[in-house]
Structure 1
């Protein structure tokens, strides 16, 4: 009998805000649920990492959660219409989760499972949006590391449903998630390959490194699969598939699907070259190639019939060249639109017509006929006046009337600048923002045209906004060799400098122990970061002195050229016995270093009671009851006449007392 375990998360409330409504999918790393954000009253997707994806030992979970949280914060700053937005992150029952935009649709893997392979126009339409999302991540310094159909979502198209793939909205998910898991795994297991082997780039297999060209390779494999309905390599073991990416070139898609345009073969082969340097530099470069290929293939097909025939004198063959739907640049969304350029005429300029030999004579006859008639002269005068007025008005309009003065927008906030432009009937555009030490974020640094310059009414002013002061957190370079730490700082426009080195028992010489300013402090470009380096283990090892007498400790420290610093403390231990030391035994120190010793004052003193004039046996019982060993002298059956130590003497506990009885 099958037993199905209920999902305990269904119906639960996460972080007092997200009510889990249903489970959408369960993958290799996480489970995705639909949830209601009860604070904002909207449907969201909640992705919770599986317990098996967090390191098994509880001591490693905190490290994984910290890495996952850092990645989530970076991804949340990535805003693009083709990127699944990240709204929130946190932990639930010790496991990290992400709150993301809920996309109504299905994954590209689901589409391929249903259709097997897609038409070239559908492939290029999906590829444009997929690459636009990855290109935005590359511009932000992110590498996806796990581009595959499972991470590409095909949302409902504006024209209805996901069946119309050319018009569908494509969104890419899981930016940085593979990196967070991989980073946690690397700490414990070495360079573990986290990318899906069917789409893994050769450099990830051989060197374990990833950069934007790694995503370009994976995107090329996804293009191959959309065109052919299969991935280029398979094998019995994942490692066999991975090494085929290293040892073999990806075949042209047309070898599996005859009739595909050569331009598509070229796209796939350039994106999947084994040498990263031979691929497009990043997803933006590959996106530009896809757009150019789509326009060119569309232009060719716009002049073709429904079924293209080869342009030869031979009869049609059985495998016609496949068509790609024409897409005009204006039909694309703004982020994917290519610059529009006017076509240049290629024909030669027409020769001017030869002048008519009788033209001059005919013009002279016409002039005589008009000017010889008074009504003709009046008409000519009216025409001249009218033309003059038109010319004057036209000159005023083109020279003055159609212009206004550009308002002063520099130093205003973005909102205030927009209000000023609205009042003046002008349009604002925004250029590349830049950092500025003095101007707050989103204030206007510059405008084109400048203030008081002439601008056509209803024209556009381009503003340059401030990103605020440029600041970097001091990176964590503790434990790195100086050269590697210096490279990390230089990459962030910071300056590395060596500070005073010191001995350390754990880190070898030349490794960074500390920095000033501290790790994580916000600093501006060009700030000098002073690195404190280890000198390695100190030459003298501190011996174990606890339990020894003060005299012994002094002798041992003197032989090692170390200085004792003594502090007396109350203790039950014998007087002058060493109770503790700092540094601890085994620590490395330099000669002349002070060693702090905690020395016992001895047990606290007790008062000897008076037993004189008591019967000898009674006196003995009194003293022994208070812990004093008793010795009786002379007659034990007589009366105690003398006691030593004397009555009310303060002595250490257990001091022997002699009573003399007679």
Structure 2
């Protein structure tokens, strides 16, 4: 469903443009400050967080405190207020991604990148700790990263920390005094916040150490099925060194993480500033191990030192004593001062033009240089290029083959979904057909991803609400409709038993998916079994999932084993597992006619005659002599009286 807030004007000033993200405590939008004509981030707190009447006052106090915190690595707070009864913050809009998004994309960072990001995070936390603020929720989701234009490394990225004071405001308004203990995300929560419910700057140091562990290893230290189990692992276990999961990490980085994540707060760095000094020292050690310094062989008696020094960003403060470096010793002996370059050139020029041979050589050299310049210019501007072949509308394999024939390489760009073009067909190319491409160069191909389809997720067994949530997420955005409910013995009433299309089938974004809900177990119509033999009646009822209880009855006119009565009666309804009581005739004076269909006529006739019954065999002589019973009278289960005539119809073949 469309967000009703998009397009609205908040407080007569902020025009909401779009939704950026939705978290556990608030939703973030981009908005245009129509008064100052600038883009801002608008964070609106969820209704569930406004738990009591004092929340707004506490939220306002925290917002004022954070607004006074001015630092280049802190997301600035510009304004606050309420909209439709919900508090909101107006903050600096950072064009970038969260550290969580970067870790999801790259899994883990290099040590140099991780330390560079951590320096800026700790710089922000250090300013907050100096001002008396504790963040309480340090995690990758609250770290915004504006990457450098090259995007190759995060060492030169700008990092900003968000949500100062928000966790404290929500925690302070919680009705349950224990609710504040686990406001921080459990993967990064400090042990003292779990065990005792208090937090100070050392709690932020612990969370930052866990975040550094994740940047280096691509995982958090602890994992469990329940969040509370993860939280208590922080209390009961020491965070392992990151080198256990990421090989070749320097010991100094292991020591840095272990020091920041000690379970005893007193054993950690006192605040973010202290940890920042340790991080900078580790970064200097890492850079020192990679410095390219080499001593050249002396050409004269002088010694020349060549050193490459990387200029540090302006925000990175070197540790004490490292800023001043001794200057390299100058030459051991002062050589004789050479003449000026202008004087040397003038002397050479005079020697060349002083004779004809020199003038001819100079003219030839200048002509040769001119030719080289012309040929080189032509090559750089035209000669090294050729026309790009037309690879559009080809399959990927055919395009690669044609490019290879032309001596060119192929690079794949980001594909596009197309309903009318099959998958892996070339939609476009850079440079285009006939465009200039360097000989042996690369052509970027834009391929069709085919029709955009997403498999229907498995929502069988879920409630309608949960199934709708699963089917409506990005990028599927399926429209959910309900089909006619059906009875199901396996699925409880109100849960999904099937979808149309079926689970796993592809549906285009925004397509319709019908969910079929269960009406519960189907009721059973009880058949009438009165007059049947008890074995037949029992088999029929048990086949319907009903239980059978027999009681004795006595009827001299009915054969033994015949069902005289049943309860509930036939035609009634019952559920699977219900019990049906049968009254069964126990009088043995009347026998029941057995079924003899398919048996040998002469054999059956002999048995009945031996029992005192009259038997008549119908059929042609051959059938009567060697055939089998095709029909019988009385029918199976009917009573037989002494001396009664039994008619058997025989048939051969």
How would you bin the TM-score normalised by the shorter chain?
0.3 to 0.5
User: What TM-score, normalized by structure 2, do the two folds share?
Assistant: 0.47
User: What TM-score, normalized by structure 1, do the two folds share?
Assistant: 0.46
